[in-house]
Amino acid sequence: MTEATAGSTLLEIAELANGDIVLQRVDGEGVPLVRIRFSAESRAYLADARLGVARAMIEAGIRAAAHQLDSEARVEDAQESADQGSGPVLH
């Protein structure tokens, strides 16, 4: 089990009894935020490395989402600046 914080919510990566690996709230409320299900062949190949691989997948997903949100925010800021006619100030 690995723990992380998202805002003020404490999260954990855990393996369920059915072999799925999930990112969930530590308090157990709600459904898992992410669920990873490896095929039987993948489980056999990865063996004890499954949790580490799942953690890397979740971290990559979080980084990709943050990058996407940051890119969208920069585009919105640029559009707002263009709409407001703000450009270089000439004296």
Report in angstroms the alpha-carbon separations of 41 from 33, 47, 48, 57.
25, 10, 13, 18
Q: What is the per-residue pLDDT across 16-70, written as a single tens digit (0 to 9) for each?
A: 999 999 999 998 888 999 999 999 999 999 999 999 999 999 999 989 998 888 8
Cα–Cα distance, 36 to 21 (Å, whole number) = 5
Q: Which helix (H) or strand (E) holds 59?
A: helix 50-83
Break the chain into its structural domains and give their ranges. Answer: 2-79
**Confidence tier at 72 by pLDDT (50, 70, 90):** confident
The Cβ-side half-sphere exposure at 30, using a 13 Å CA radius, reads 12
Token digits for 68? 């996407």
